[in-house]
């Protein structure tokens, strides 16, 4: 573990010109470029031809989280603009679906933009839902390290918090896009298979898929599984420390159904390819949760994966089959239909990949934990791949082009 913690983040830096950052998505989702790294060979194609490069029996794993309209803009009585960025329920153990279904009032942890101009009192915002005028109020309960606890209430309390956000909020575009959200972003910064609300950032590799492409791949013999990781704002947090051991990973909620676990177990000899770093972190986390059940027994109730847990010395490392079987046994033991947990897993060079054979992803920021994950999968070849992308006019970051990487 010491060697991993001492990795210098400067090893994962590269020059990304501003004009290479995709500010807007392409008109057609699956028209993006696709860089393919397979058997040490680099090539490029169009994303809608990804099926030509996937194994015929591939299992693609999708993250079906849904981005919420998490950015709320208010004005104080003195006219100062204040932005509240909704992060998570103040009760961080609460299931996201229950939290968004709550009616007035609710209490959430939020980032506060222009916080110094909001001295005290309520922030009030008038919105319209289904032709009805509604007042949304925000009250700061307390300040904490890096965020504030905010109580929201509204004049029609039968409406859910999700409905309020959908009407009053804006799409939480990544800060590096350097622009305000526009109406089209509400659709384009959302995957076509998004289902469960909870993310403040999109699983951007999945933005390239269309319903038609998914259907074509299925006809080809590719199968799909879906799971949940609700993406937090910490995904954009750069590694500012000199060594990655000093970087604190953000914890995010995951949810995987018993049926998906069973299908993963039955697909153990197939090439498993997650779509996006969030799906990959979820899959890899499952292995370590299964190990926890070996170490702590089936009576274990709380599952929170620390970023360094995989790098510790464990007396026994079970096979993937044994670990997944243990998770299924846990669900059966407690009569549960899905496994829920939080993960802060950091995948960096030195991490031993357990669950996946490849990855579909976008091009990531310099010195980011996402780039560390890519390097853990393909080693030093990430430098060659990124240099190729820069030399061949690929578009970078959330609305940019994609790559298909094989371990």
Q: What are phi and psi of 364, to 5 degrees?
A: -105, 165
pLDDT for the residue 238: 79
| 79: Cα separation from own chain's centroid | 35
C-alpha triplet 115, 116, 122: angle, nearest 5°: 65
Average pLDDT over residues 173-184: 94
Q: Was domain 2-66+190-406 assigned CATH 1.20.140.10?
A: no
Task: Write out the DSSP string of 101-160.
Answer: HPBSPEEEEEEEETGGG--SS-EEEEEEETTEEEEEEEEEEEEETTEEEEEEEESSTTSB
Q: Would you report the helix, strand and coil content of the chain in percent, each value rounded to 5?
A: 35, 30, 40
Q: How many CA atoms, within 13 angstroms, populate the side-chain half-sphere of residue 262? A: 8
Average pLDDT over residues 48-60: 96
Reported as a pLDDT band with limits 50, 70 and 90, residue 157 is: confident
Express each pLDDT in 201-212 by its tens digit. Answer: 999 999 999 999
pLDDT for the residue 305: 97
- What tokens were used for 302? 């709380």
Reported as a pLDDT band with limits 50, 70 and 90, residue 405 is: very high
Rg of the chain (C-alpha set): 21
Reported as a pLDDT band with limits 50, 70 and 90, residue 181 is: very high
pLDDT for the residue 78: 87
User: Which residue spans of the chain are classified as CATH 3.40.1780.10?
Assistant: 2-66+190-406
DSSP-H helix ranges across 246-319: 258-266, 277-296
- What tokens were used for 16? 């990304």
Express each pLDDT in 121-148 by its tens digit. Answer: 899 999 998 888 999 999 999 998 889 9
Average pLDDT over residues 358-373: 97
pLDDT for the residue 92: 83
Express each pLDDT in 267-307 by its tens digit. Answer: 999 999 999 999 999 999 999 999 999 999 998 888 999 99
In DSSP terms, which residues pair with 112 in a beta bridge? 84
Question: CA 159 to CA 134: how far, in whole Å?
Answer: 10
C-alpha triplet 197, 357, 353: angle, nearest 5°: 85
CB 109 within 8 A of CB 93: no
pLDDT, the chain, mean = 95
pLDDT for the residue 45: 98
From residue 276, how far is each of 64, 202, 294 by CA, in Å?
11, 10, 28
Around Cβ 8, how many Cβ atoms within 10 Å? 12
Burial of 193 (0-12, 13-18, 19+ CB in 10 A): middle
Q: Which residues contact 209 (CB under 8 A, 6 or more apart)?
A: 29, 30, 62, 191, 192, 193, 275
Express each pLDDT in 96-126 by its tens digit. Answer: 889 999 999 999 999 999 988 898 889 999 9
> Would the pTM count as exceeding 0.75?
yes
Reported as a pLDDT band with limits 50, 70 and 90, residue 150 is: very high
Average pLDDT over residues 89-98: 88
């Amino acid at each position: 573990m010491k060697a991993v913690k001492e990795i210098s983040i400067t090893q994962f830096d590269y020059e990304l010109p501003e004009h290479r950052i995709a500010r807007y998505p392409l008109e057609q989702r699956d028209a993006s470029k696709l860089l393919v790294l397979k058997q040490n060979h680099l090539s490029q194609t169009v994303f809608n031809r990804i099926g030509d490069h996937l194994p015929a029996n591939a299992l693609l794993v999708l993250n079906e989280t849904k981005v919420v309209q998490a950015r709320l803009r208010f004005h104080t009585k003195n006219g100062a603009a204040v932005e509240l960025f909704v992060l998570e329920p103040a009760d961080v153990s609460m299931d996201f679906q229950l939290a968004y279904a709550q009616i007035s009032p609710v209490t959430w942890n939020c980032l506060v933009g222009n916080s110094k101009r909001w001295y005290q009192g309520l922030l009030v915002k008038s919105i319209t839902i289904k032709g009805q005028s509604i007042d949304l109020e925000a009250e700061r309960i307390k300040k904490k390290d890096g965020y504030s606890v905010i109580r929201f209430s509204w004049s029609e309390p039968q409406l859910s918090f999700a409905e309020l956000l959908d009407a009053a909020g804006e799409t939480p575009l990544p800060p590096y896009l350097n622009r305000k959200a526009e109406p089209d972003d509400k659709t384009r910064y959302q995957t076509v298979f998004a289902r469960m609300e909870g993310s403040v950032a999109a699983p951007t590799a999945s933005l390239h898929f269309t319903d038609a492409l998914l259907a074509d791949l299925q006809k080809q013999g590719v199968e799909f599984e879906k799971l949940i990781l609700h993406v937090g704002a910490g995904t954009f947090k750069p590694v500012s420390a000199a060594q990655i051991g000093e970087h604190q990973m953000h914890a995010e909620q995951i949810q995987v159904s018993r049926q998906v676990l069973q299908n993963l177990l039955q697909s153990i000899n197939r090439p498993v390819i997650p779509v996006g770093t969030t799906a990959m972190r979820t899959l890899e986390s499952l292995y370590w949760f299964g190990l926890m059940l070996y170490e702590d027994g089936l009576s274990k109730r709380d599952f929170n994966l620390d970023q360094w847990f995989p790098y510790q010395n464990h007396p026994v490392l079970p096979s993937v089959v044994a670990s997944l079987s243990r998770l299924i046994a846990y669900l059966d033991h407690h009569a549960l239909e899905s496994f829920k947990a939080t993960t802060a897993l950091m995948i960096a060079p030195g991490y031993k990949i357990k669950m996946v054979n490849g990855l579909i992803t976008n091009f990531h920021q310099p010195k980011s934990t996402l780039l560390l994950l890519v390097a853990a999968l393909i080693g030093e070849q990430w430098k060659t791949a990124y240099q190729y992308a820069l030399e061949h006019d690929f578009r970078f970051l959330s609305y940019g082009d994609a790559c298909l990487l094989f371990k």
